[in-house]
Each structure stands twice: as structure tokens, then as C-alpha cells.
Amino acid sequence: MIVPELFIGFLKVGCFSFGGAYGAIPLIRDVVLSNGWLDEEMLTYMIAVSESTPGPIMVNLATYVGSSQAGIFGSLAATLAVVLPSFVIILLVTALLTALLKSPYVQAVLRGMKPCMAGIILATGVYMIVRNGLAVRDGALLIRPLVLTLALGAIYFGSRKIKKGGISPILLICVSAAAGVVAYGL
Amino acid sequence: MNLLLDLFLTFAKIGMFTFGGGYAMIALIENICVEKKRWITHDEMMDITVIAESTPGPIAINCATYVGYKQKGFWGALLATAGMVLPSFCIIFAISKFLDRFLEITWIAHAFLGIKIAVGILILDAALKMLGKMQKKAVPRAFMLCAFAAMLAIDIFSVRISSIILMLAAGLISLLIFIVKKQSAKGGAGK
């Protein structure tokens, strides 16, 4: 029965994804890879698609994974599960528990969880960049991924020196798509 | 117009036109809910941003639930949240039906090889931004570094430990530190 598994898996994601859009990615990666719902490759593609389509990334990923595993019911279950925790928590907080968040004990727990989240996201980013950029085949380092990584990194972070805020994530994805077509197609 | 319907349609519009999620959405939500519709005040918007940061889930969902609840109680919250989710749900569901076939086209597969690299960069950037906002103190840094090392080890050795375990452990340790400190402060005052 995959639909209940999807529901439980994304409920976990919804419960623990602090820190906005990218906070959820390491968790989703965890749940999706360990259940074998998608491989690393497909997941990375879907992160890019989610970033380039409207709506919260987490919701987009849940809808996609659900749909790819179990059609419309899978996508409904996964999407509902990922939204449910924050819906319930906000209802509780605004209705009765504003004081709870100010409690020193709750604050202490959050003080531990937030830097932990930052570390998890950092590790995920570093791991993905190293894995993609330093790809090895038959004992030899592949040139194209390495050059693409360096070039895109330079464009993305370098653009901030020229213009405040730099280029947007969507623009970076467009540039990287064009760069991929050129680098692998020619 | 019926307020419930208005909540649903307004958040559906926000859900349809906010790319990139997260903080990109706050500007649009503020513009519509505070300035145009006057559903919440600017101060409330600030509050909800803080609450959203300390609670899990997409910040846009948190905002929709909060605004909906303030206007029309439970049903307002439900419809605003549903409106927020619906556009992206439909779009991604449609994409999921043809993405596999789409990727069989050679030049699109090439494009995605480039995109794959961009995604790593975006995640790294998100992490760096979070680090920038973190308190520059020893304890949070230690938490961050331990989580970083543990997560990297989990990825490299493909250990089956969920990052949720890391989060729970960090929360628990932090709570214990707080309680021990409080106890020792009490003990010190008693002497």
C-alpha cells in the first residue's frame, strides 16, 4: 500500500521542515531516496522544476512524488500530508498557543533545531555540488560537469558583485539549461 | 463578494504567481493582504513571519492559514490554504504526467544535466544565507558543525539515518543544556 506510506513520509517532512523552501529539501531527499520513490537524478530534476513553477517547492515536490508513485490519489495524499502539520500548528498558535512559542523551553528546543537545520542544508548543498561537479567515469574526472559547476557558480555568486541581489534562481536555472545544451550538445 | 470565496481566489492568485517559494512570496502576500485587501496589519504580517520561521512548513502556507483564520475562522483558514496549494498542485500534476517522455528528448536531457548543477548551487546558497542569519555564538555554531559533519557522513556512507533524527537530537540536547544551566543557576543562587 503505497498511498499511506506517501502520506506518512510527507507528514514527517511537513513536521520537521524549518527554514523555508530549502529547509525541506534534505528531508524530502531522505524520505524519497530511502523509500526508493525516485532516484537522486530525478529528484534533482524535480527540485529544478519545482523552483521554476509557481507555488511552494515543498508542495510541488510532494505533488510530483505522489503522482509518480500512485497517480492522483498519491499526489493528493502527499500534498495533503506536507501541508497538514503547518496548517494545524498555525491554527493552534493563532487560536490558543501564542504563549507556547514564547516559552523558554520551546525556545531552547528551537535554538538547537535551527542551527542543526542549517548544517543539514549546508551538507546537502556541498555533497550535491561535489558529486555533480567531480563526476568520475572509468577512473577519469569528467571535464564538462566540472567546468559547468565552476562557470555557473561564478555567474551566480559573481553577479552579486555587479548587481544588488544578483541573478534570480529561476534565471540561474535557465542559464544552466542553456549551458547544458551547449556543453553536451556540441 | 463572499469573503470565503474571496479568500480562496486571492490565495489561488498568490499561489499561481509566486515562483521560487519562501521569501519571494512574502512581498506579494504583504502587497495584497496588507495594502490592498487590508485583511491584516503590517505588524501582524511581521508577527506571522516570525511565527512561520519557528514553525515547520512552507511560509506561504503559514501566511495563508493565518490570514484565513483571522478573517473567517477555521473555514477561512481551510479555504485560503486550499487556494494557495491548488494552482501548483494542478501544474505539477500535469507535468508529472509527461516529464519522463520529455526527458527522452536528447537536448532536454542535456539541459537537465546543466540544471542539476544549478540546483546544487541554489541549495548551497540557501545554506549560506541561513548561516549568515545565525547568531555568531559558539553553541549554535557547534550545533551547525555537528549536524553538517553528521549529514555529510550519512550522505557519503549512505547510512540509513534520517535527518529528522538529527533534528530531534539537536532539539533535545539544546533543551537539556537549557535545563542544566537553569538548575545550576538556581543552585548557585542557593549557596
In chain B, where are the structural domains located?
Answer: 1-104, 136-191
What is the per-residue pLDDT across B133-166, written as a single tens digit (0 to 9) for each? Answer: 778 888 889 989 998 999 888 888 877 777 778 8
Q: How far is B1 from chain A (nearest CA, A)?
A: 25
CA distance A32 to A182: 31
3-state secondary structure of A35: coil
Average pLDDT in the B38-66 region?
80
Cβ pair B20:A21 closer than 8 A: yes
Angle between helices A143-162 and B106-133 (to 10 degrees): 50
DSSP state letters, A106-171: HHHHHHHHHHHHHHHHHHHHHHHHHHHHT-EETTEE-HHHHHHHHHHHHHHHHHHHHSTT-S-HHH
Q: Is the pLDDT reported for residue B93 higher than 60?
A: yes
**Lowest mean pLDDT segment, chosen from A52-56, B71-75, B91-95, B114-118:** A52-56
Q: CA dihedral in degrees (A171, A174, A177, A183; nearest 10)? A: -70
Residue B84 is placed in which grid cell?
494557495
Average pLDDT in the A70-78 region?
94
Name A146's Cβ contacts closer than 8 Å, sequence gap at least 6.
A133, A134, A135
Cβ pair B140:A21 closer than 8 A: no
Band of pLDDT at residue A17, cut at 50, 70 and 90: confident
The ipTM of this complex is 0.78
Q: How far is A37 from chain B (nearest CA, A)?
A: 14
Which of A53, A88, A116 is the best mutation test for B, with the most CBs of B within 10 A?
Answer: A116
Q: Is the pLDDT reported for residue A78 higher than 90?
A: yes
**Lowest mean pLDDT segment, chosen from B38-42, B107-111, B158-162:** B158-162
Residue A32 is placed in which grid cell?
524519497
DSSP 8-class letter at B40: S
CA distance B44 to B47: 5
Residue B77, pLDDT score: 94
Residue A123 is placed in which grid cell?
551538507
pTM for this model (two decimals): 0.77
Cβ pair B123:A185 closer than 8 A: no
What is the per-residue pLDDT across B180-191, written as a single tens digit (0 to 9) for each? Answer: 998 888 776 554
